Structure 1
Amino acid sequence: MSSSKLNRTLNQGFGVFLGIAIAVWVLRGFGILTFLPGGVIWLLVLAAIAMAILSYVQKTWWRY
């Protein structure tokens, strides 16, 4: 897998995880997804942060 394709995949993963986390947070606030614990939202946010860090590290430090 080329460097740019990997970086694009990591950026898309970041967007997906962040989007899902925000959607779950909003729906939970409206009372629609009240059965989901708050830890699920934190896991999604942490996964998004991890994807962003991996994307940054891959782009700046890992030269193929």
Structure 2
Amino acid sequence: MKQSSLNRILTQGFGVLLGIGIAVWVLRGFGILTFIPGGVIWLLFLGAIATGLISYAQKTWWRF
């Protein structure tokens, strides 16, 4: 797998996780998705942050 395609997959994963996290957070705030625990929302946000950091590190530091 080329470095640019891996970075593209990581960047898309970051966007998807962040988008789902924000959507679930907003819908839970409106009372629509009240059955979803707060820990799931935290996991989505932390997963997005981790994916973004890995994408950044892969793009700038890892020169494989």
TM-score grouping bracket, smaller chain normalisation: over 0.9
**TM-score normalised by length of structure 2:** 0.97
Q: In the aligned structure 2, how far is the partner of 1:57 from the partner of 1:41? A: 24
Unaligned runs of 5+ in 2: none
Q: CA RMSD in A?
A: 0.5
In the alignment, what sits opposite 1:54?
54
In the alignment, what sits opposite 1:16?
16
Paired residue secondary structure (1:13): helix
Q: In the aligned structure 2, how far is the partner of 1:39 from the partner of 1:56? A: 25
1:61 is displaced (CA, Å) by 1.0
Instruction: Please tell me the residue identity of whatever aligns with 2:44.
Output: L
Unaligned runs of 5+ in 1: none
Instruction: Please tell me the residue identity of whatever aligns with 2:29.
Output: G
Between Structure 1 and Structure 2, how many residues are aligned? 64
Q: Sequence identity, in percent?
A: 75
**TM-score normalised by length of structure 1:** 0.97
Instruction: Please tell me the residue identity of whatever aligns with 2:25.
Output: W
Instruction: Please tell me the residue identity of whatever aligns with 1:3.
Output: Q
In the alignment, what sits opposite 1:31?
31
1:14 is displaced (CA, Å) by 0.2
Q: In the aligned structure 2, how far is the partner of 1:43 from the partner of 1:7? A: 21
